[in-house]
Copies of this chain bind each other. A is one copy, B any other.
Amino acid sequence: MIQPRTLKGFRDYLPAVMIPRERLMETARGVFRSFGFAPIDTPTLEYLEILTGKGSDETDRQIYRFQDNGKRDVGMRFDLTVPLARFAAQHIGTLGTPFKRYHIAPVWRGENPQAGRYREFVQCDFDTIGTESVLADIEAVAVIDSLMQAVGFDAFTISINNRQILTGLLNYLGLSDQSVVILRALDKLAKIGRDKVADEMMKVASIDASKADAVLRLADCQADGDNEAVLDALPEITGGDETAAAGIERLREIFRGAVASGVSPRRIHIDVSIARGLDYYTGVIFETTLNDLPGIGSVCSGGRYDNLAGLFTKQHLPGIGASLGLDRLLAAMEQLNLLPDAKKAAPVMVAYFDRNRRDDYLQLANQLRRAGIGVEVYHEPKKLGAQLKYADAQGFMAAIIAGENEWQDGRVQLKDLRNKSAVDVDYRHDAAEPLVAAIGALIQGTSSCPSA
Contacts and interface: CB of A to CB of B under 8 A. Distances in A.
A12 B346 contact: no
Interface stretch (A93-101, A228-236, A410-418, A443-451): A93-101
A91 B12 contact: yes
A135 B351 CA distance: 12
B375 A35 contact: yes
Interface stretch (A275-283, A296-304, A326-334, A357-365): A357-365
Interface stretch (A65-73, A174-182, A284-292, A399-407): A65-73
A366 interface: yes
A18 interface: yes
A100 B36 contact: no
Given A7-B43, A44-B120, A133-B379, A35 B358 contact: no
B260 A363 contact: yes
Contacts of A45: 7, 10, 64, 108, 120
A424 interface: no
Contact of A38 (B32, B64, B72, B344): B344
A375 B360 CA distance: 46
Most buried by B among A4, A34, A49: A4
A346 B34 contact: yes
B359 A256 contact: yes
Contact of A345 (B19, B36, B131, B139): B36
A69 B120 CA distance: 15
A26 interface: yes
A167 B212 CA distance: 84
A197 to B, nearest CB: 35
Interface in A378-423: 378-380, 390, 393-394
Given A49-B2, A346-B33, A362-B260, A12 B43 contact: yes
A25 B49 CA distance: 32
Contacts of A89: 4
Contacts of A240: none
Interface string A19-44: 10010001001001111111111111
B18 A22 contact: no
A11 B83 CA distance: 12
Contacts of A394: 96
A309 B135 CA distance: 55
A39 B345 contact: yes
A377 interface: yes
A417 B2 CA distance: 60
A374 B35 contact: yes
A366 B142 CA distance: 9
A427 interface: no
B379 A98 contact: yes
Contact of A12 (B37, B87, B110, B135): B87
Given A38-B15, A68-B64, A344-B36, A44 B108 contact: yes
Interface in A126-150: 128, 131, 133, 135-136, 138-139, 142, 146
18 contacts: A1-B312, A2-B50, A4-B87, A10-B45, A12-B41, A14-B40, A18-B41, A22-B39, A26-B26, A32-B345, A38-B344, A45-B64, A45-B108, A64-B66, A96-B390, A96-B393, A260-B360, A261-B362
Q: Which 5 A-B pairs have the closest CB atoms?
A: A36-B376, A66-B66, A260-B359, A15-B38, A10-B43
Interface of A: 1-8, 10-15, 18-19, 22, 26, 29, 32-47, 49-50, 53, 64-70, 72, 74, 76, 86-87, 89-91, 94-96, 98, 100-101, 106, 108, 110, 120, 128, 131, 133, 135-136, 138-139, 142, 146, 256-257, 260-262, 309, 311-314, 344-346, 349, 352, 358-360, 362-363, 365-366, 369-370, 373-380, 390, 393-394
